[in-house]
Chains A and B, each alone.
Chain A
Amino acid sequence: MRMKLMGVSALAGVLLVTLPAFAHHAFEAEFDQKKPVHLKGTVTDMEWINPHAWIHLDVTNPDGTVTNWMVECGSPNIMLRRGFTKRSLEKGTELAVEGYQAKNGTMRANGSSVTFKDGHKLFVGGSNPDIQGGEDGKK
């Protein structure tokens, strides 16, 4: 899978450089573009693992039942080098996830967009001890 230069498609006359694949593996092999998901839930676990980290989220369904989802992120090494630690994402934190569900129908999705309740993006902004609960300090 080639990583598209997202957001820079307007560039004209760019010296096109072939970029090596972004993701460890082809996400379109794992996730279904016909099954978009919009999840809102609370963190129950964070697996800081490679090749991709996974956030476990309890999501309350419209009928009131709760389903635990797994959301796939990128390699945690980059985040760890920026100062995040295993304690940076606490249980109970509310998150919103935009992504696509796994082809095999399990409760797994890729986390293309992961934000806090107030819209701030998860893990953006470098070393951030306030990351639990939101960059504005609210928990």
Chain B
Amino acid sequence: MKRGAFIFVLGLAAVTAWGQYVAPKTPWGDPDLQGMWPGNMGVPMQRPAAQGTRTELTDAEYAQRVQTAKQQAAADAVDVGAPAAKPGIGPPSYWTERGTPTRRTSLIVDPPDGRLPPLTKVEETLRKEARGGKGFPGEWRGEAAAPEDLNIYYRCITRGLLGSVIPVVYNNGNQILQEPGYVVFRNEMIHESRVIPLDGRPHVSESIRMYLGDSRGHWEGNTLVVETTNFTDQDAIGSNGAGYPGDPGHHSRDLKVIERFTRTGPTSLNYEATVVDPKTWTKPWTILIELKKDDHFQLLEYACHEGNYAIGDILSGARAEEAASKKN
């Protein structure tokens, strides 16, 4: 009886008798997901094959990951400018927000080996033959004839839906806002606010395509489930939507993403996303990103296109090189 009374007192602290966290509610009664949930880069997308179905690092592996992070942080702060160091071609490396290492072996939680399912034959061919054999823009490989040779992130168009939430080395600002009937997922790069209606209306017609697709949300208990369709096929998954080698990469217009947002504690939120695209991957796959609340994180404007000197410089640089080689 005493124990029962104790639990009753704890009832207000939003913990059920079974110890499962129950999220607070918004003033109008929806589960409250609101806040600043900046991404943390501590987990690779795919699990090294040697780790099999292990979802957590061993103590030794974790210690190594922590050590690497410490060394990286030190390198970030002082490497360039040291008398013996040769300056690299990139910007100063202290312009980073790398986050803290975690124990997880991969973002991918399904398939159970933490690795992407195989591509379909159709997609394999597509990736080889795109743009007359040049492949999708992705990582820059030296072509700069026109803006289309550069990837969609360089051009400051979008990072795509998943590209905008998969953590990278900086500006991982994610903010969730709610009002009756809507949830908004707002991200820092590239200043997008995805408005998700909860009223059960149908998707827009399939003739309308959007980079971020068309989202529809509903509650399943304390979990927000969002289904997004109507994508274009112009972005990739991973590396800010550019899709570098090793990333999931290019997807088809048939892509469907099912996200599940669940508060797991006062400062933690599980973000799960299942990728369903039978034209591209032979099986659906799911990532889990564990987000931590940080209401001191200031989400700042990232006016990318407006300050994008790079495209003009890259293209004119290529023209200058061509002119120089013609002269010789």
Q: CB–CB under 8 A between A and B in the complex?
A: yes
Q: Please give the residue numbers on chain A whose beta carbons come within 8 Å of chain B beta carbons, in ascending order.
A: 1-8, 11, 13-15, 17-33, 36, 47, 49-52, 54, 70, 72-75, 77-81, 98-100, 102-106, 108, 110-115, 119, 121-124
When distances are taken between beta carbons in the complex, the residues of chain B under 8 Å from A50 are: 301-304, 307
When distances are taken between beta carbons in the complex, the residues of chain B under 8 Å from A103 are: 313-314, 316-318, 320-321
A124 to B79, CA, bound (A): 11
Whether the Cβ atoms of A77 and B88 lie closer than 8 Å is no
When distances are taken between beta carbons in the complex, the residues of chain B under 8 Å from A23 are: 90-91
Question: A20-B168, A103-B321 known; 14 other A-B pairs, CB under 8 Å?
Answer: A6-B85, A7-B85, A20-B244, A25-B153, A50-B302, A52-B309, A77-B300, A81-B297, A81-B298, A81-B300, A102-B317, A105-B320, A110-B91, A115-B81
Residue of A17, A51, A111 near B92 (CB, 8 A) is: A111
How close is B88's CB to chain A, nearest CB, in angstroms?
6
Interface presence of B80 (CB below 8 A): yes
B43's nearest neighbour on chain A, judged by CB, is A17
A6 to B96, CA, bound (A): 13
User: Which of A7, A79, A108, A110 lies at the interface centre, i.e. has the most chain B CB atoms within 10 A of its CB?
Assistant: A7
A-B contact pairs, 24 of them (CB 8 A): A6-B93, A8-B71, A13-B64, A17-B44, A19-B41, A20-B238, A20-B239, A21-B168, A22-B91, A25-B153, A26-B154, A29-B142, A29-B150, A30-B314, A72-B91, A73-B91, A77-B170, A77-B188, A80-B298, A104-B317, A106-B316, A111-B91, A114-B81, A124-B77
The interface bits of chain B over 280-323 (1 if a CB of A lies within 8 angstroms of the residue's CB, else 0) are 00000000000000000110111110111110011011111100
Residue of B77, B93, B153, B307 near A22 (CB, 8 A) is: B93
The 9 A-B residue pairs with the shortest CB-CB distance in the complex, in nearest-first order: A74-B95, A103-B317, A49-B307, A7-B75, A112-B87, A26-B140, A104-B316, A113-B81, A7-B79
Whether the Cβ atoms of A1 and B139 lie closer than 8 Å is yes
When distances are taken between beta carbons in the complex, the residues of chain A under 8 Å from B166 are: 20
Interface residues on B, range: 35 or more
Interface presence of B219 (CB below 8 A): no
Q: How many contacts between A and B, using CB within 8 angstroms?
A: 212
How close is A34's CB to chain B, nearest CB, in angstroms?
11
Residues B120-172 near A (CB distance < 8 A)? 139-140, 142, 144, 150, 153-154, 156, 166, 168-171
Whether the Cβ atoms of A123 and B94 lie closer than 8 Å is yes
Whether the Cβ atoms of A22 and B92 lie closer than 8 Å is no
Residue of B140, B170, B310, B316 near A75 (CB, 8 A) is: B170
Whether the Cβ atoms of B81 and A78 lie closer than 8 Å is no
Whether the Cβ atoms of A75 and B90 lie closer than 8 Å is no
The SS class assigned to the B binding surface is loop
When distances are taken between beta carbons in the complex, the residues of chain B under 8 Å from A6 are: 75, 79-80, 85, 88, 93
A97's nearest neighbour on chain B, judged by CB, is B87
Interface presence of B68 (CB below 8 A): yes
A136 to B75, CA, bound (A): 23
Whether the Cβ atoms of A112 and B307 lie closer than 8 Å is no
Whether the Cβ atoms of B91 and A52 lie closer than 8 Å is yes
Residue of A7, A51, A114 near B74 (CB, 8 A) is: A7
How close is A119's CB to chain B, nearest CB, in angstroms?
8
